[in-house]
Structure 1
């Protein structure tokens, strides 16, 4: 029986890390570039609103990259829909691309843009939000139901509060709470940029789960014991 190729494990770790960094980096890049006068873009009320700004390419390009990476990702297969990582990541990838290229309805003055579907169709906004809700919902399912499958356990190492499964569940539940809060915040406008901040937090928790799954912090020494219940001596 042939041994599994270790390069496959490292490839998937890098892919997970890339997805995590892109998720966390998207709001950081958009807001950061908004603060630079040369881009002539104000901080927008939501991430989706950047579609109609000079930073549109960063918005669409990053989401498209996340979508393609997730479609390329070979997740855990399971008979249960809610634990089938392969199916869930494929759906999430399609939703991410949909969010990128099917825009929210413009508000107020905005620059003219060319889109695959004319953005002035009123039903596009509903489709955009449906894709976004499904995308974040699948992010939560992946963290809670899929990432917690198949953890390698060393019975002689106690389960830490910082165990990876605890982090995945916390991130997934936080995303679910934020999904509920987003439409409420958008309707009542609790504070300036409330939608943008809640979306950024959801992406932060999404990215954190993928980075931990991709072992971006390493898995040697105390980190390996606390996060992964593994003893990997530092090289």
Structure 2
């Protein structure tokens, strides 16, 4: 009995670590790319979008981080919900493939680039559209996961009131913010709303994506007031549903 309980706890903690890893990678990607752009050693200017870093000396960070997110997503095995809109295994598998696609399929370059050796030649004009479609689907699934999947299976202690900072409120807010931002990105591309508008909107979308995964991974802990406010739990010993 004790062995089964320990195995279940290890299973839950492994999922939490995986969620936190995905969250940190999502938030860290734009921070690293922009931060390193200010270091002369990398000889890279701040780019108009995150995808444009593909054509810079920071390409390995861009492709490596997205590939890692993609592999983590594919390895994330959840429940087989009958609704595809709430089936985390299907959604994360699609998101993982799209993340790897965004990493390997280059965006159309802003300027005539120097010779760059790529897995897929960037001279094909349709590749840019495939890149944008993969990115849009990726962010759309990020939003669906936050709003439709992460809100399933919360422990609800009836004696603890629902806080403004309840995890489900955070997930829905993050998912809604991602949807708004992915709608604004093509608008910003067309009208150039402000300097680096696409880069900023993409970074914000990744921030909300990462925040949802960090909260789901209990990066802030779940004991005491945090457990009550976020998860409606009395202590950190309670085991959450896998969702």
* Residues 108 and 127 in structure 2, CA contact (< 8 A), matched pair in contact too: yes
Structure 1: unaligned runs, 5 residues or longer: none
* Residues 30 and 50 in structure 2, CA contact (< 8 A), matched pair in contact too: yes
What is the match of residue 186 of structure 1?
189
TM-score by length of 1: 0.97
2:71 counterpart of 1:68: yes
2:148 counterpart of 1:150: no
2:218 counterpart of 1:215: yes
CA–CA distance in structure 1, aligned partners of residues 66 and 135 of structure 2: 11
Structure 1 residues 114-125: aligned runs within 5 Å: 114-125=117-128
Deviation at 1:122, TM superposition (A): 0.2
Deviation at 1:5, TM superposition (A): 2.1
CA–CA distance in structure 2, aligned partners of residues 233 and 32 of structure 1: 36
* Residues 158 and 229 in structure 1, CA contact (< 8 A), matched pair in contact too: yes
Structure 1 residues 191-206: aligned runs within 5 Å: 191-206=194-209
SS in 2 for 1:5: helix
CA–CA distance in structure 1, aligned partners of residues 79 and 66 of structure 2: 23
Bigger mean CA offset, 3-12 vs 43-52: 3-12
CA–CA distance in structure 2, aligned partners of residues 115 and 229 of structure 1: 49
What is the match of residue 32 of structure 2?
29
RMSD: 1.2
CA–CA distance in structure 2, aligned partners of residues 111 and 231 of structure 1: 59
Q: How many residues align?
A: 234
CA–CA distance in structure 1, aligned partners of residues 149 and 119 of structure 2: 34
CA–CA distance in structure 2, aligned partners of residues 188 and 233 of structure 1: 49
CA–CA distance in structure 1, aligned partners of residues 120 and 49 of structure 2: 21
Structure 1 residues 65-144: aligned runs within 5 Å: 65-144=68-147
* Residues 53 and 110 in structure 1, CA contact (< 8 A), matched pair in contact too: no
2:42 counterpart of 1:53: no
* Residues 27 and 47 in structure 1, CA contact (< 8 A), matched pair in contact too: yes
Structure 1 residues 164-175: aligned runs within 5 Å: 164-175=167-178
CA–CA distance in structure 1, aligned partners of residues 210 and 197 of structure 2: 20
CA–CA distance in structure 1, aligned partners of residues 65 and 145 of structure 2: 20
CA–CA distance in structure 2, aligned partners of residues 202 and 24 of structure 1: 9
Deviation at 1:233, TM superposition (A): 6.3
Deviation at 1:114, TM superposition (A): 1.4
Deviation at 1:75, TM superposition (A): 2.0
